[in-house]
């Protein structure tokens, strides 16, 4: 009986943790420095099933600019994203699968499988900080 209660509790904890992992990205925004056509700060804004990548104003760019729009799905601690529109050389048919780790309002991305070299090279091993972000 004791073993059954413990197993039930562990199963419940696993389900709750798994559900939290799937929903941690929706309605969040993360800022980090990446190498695109130049080194720049960007924000990845996650909605329910869409990621929008924005530039952050600096001494070259005077305003926030939408750089790329992607769709995504999550499963556990991984997400798969695919370009919808934007300026990267990635095509709209090639998905990329990435593992993410979130700790203390920081997110790190690691490539699992991504045939788009530009995306894989730009975002790999970058630490993003959680930010409050709204487009004006």
Residue range 20-65, pLDDT digits in tens: 444 479 999 999 998 877 888 999 999 999 999 999 887 666 788 9
Average pLDDT over the chain reads 81
Q: Is residue 118 part of a domain?
A: yes
Structural domain boundaries, residue 96: 2-130
Q: Is residue 135 part of a domain?
A: no
Q: Do 128 and 109 contact (CB within 8 A), yes or no?
A: yes
Question: For the chain, give me the number of helices (H) and strands (E)?
Answer: 2, 8
Please state, for a pLDDT cut of 90, what percent of the chain lies above it: 51
β-sheet bridge partners, residue 52 = 45, 69
Q: What is the pLDDT of residue 36?
A: 77
pTM: 0.78
Q: Is residue 67 part of a domain?
A: yes
- Cα separation, 20 vs 25, in Å, equals 9
Q: What is the pLDDT of residue 58?
A: 75
CATH number at residue 94: 2.40.128
Say how many domains are in the chain: 1
Q: Is residue 136 part of a domain?
A: no
């Amino acid at each position: 009986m004791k073993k059954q209660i413990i197993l039930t509790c562990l199963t419940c904890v696993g389900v709750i943790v798994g559900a939290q992992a799937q929903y941690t990205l929706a309605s969040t925004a993360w800022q980090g420095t990446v190498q695109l056509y130049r080194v720049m700060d960007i924000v990845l804004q996650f909605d329910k099933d869409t990621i929008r990548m924005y530039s952050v104003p600096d001494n070259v760019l005077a305003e926030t600019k939408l750089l790329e729009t992607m769709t995504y799905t999550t499963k556990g601690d991984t997400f798969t994203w695919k370009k919808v529109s934007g300026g990267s050389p990635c095509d709209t048919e090639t998905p990329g699968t990435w593992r993410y780790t979130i700790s203390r309002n920081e997110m790190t991305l690691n490539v699992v499988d991504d045939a788009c070299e530009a995306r894989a090279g730009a975002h790999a091993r970058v630490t993003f900080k959680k930010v409050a972000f709204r487009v004006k």
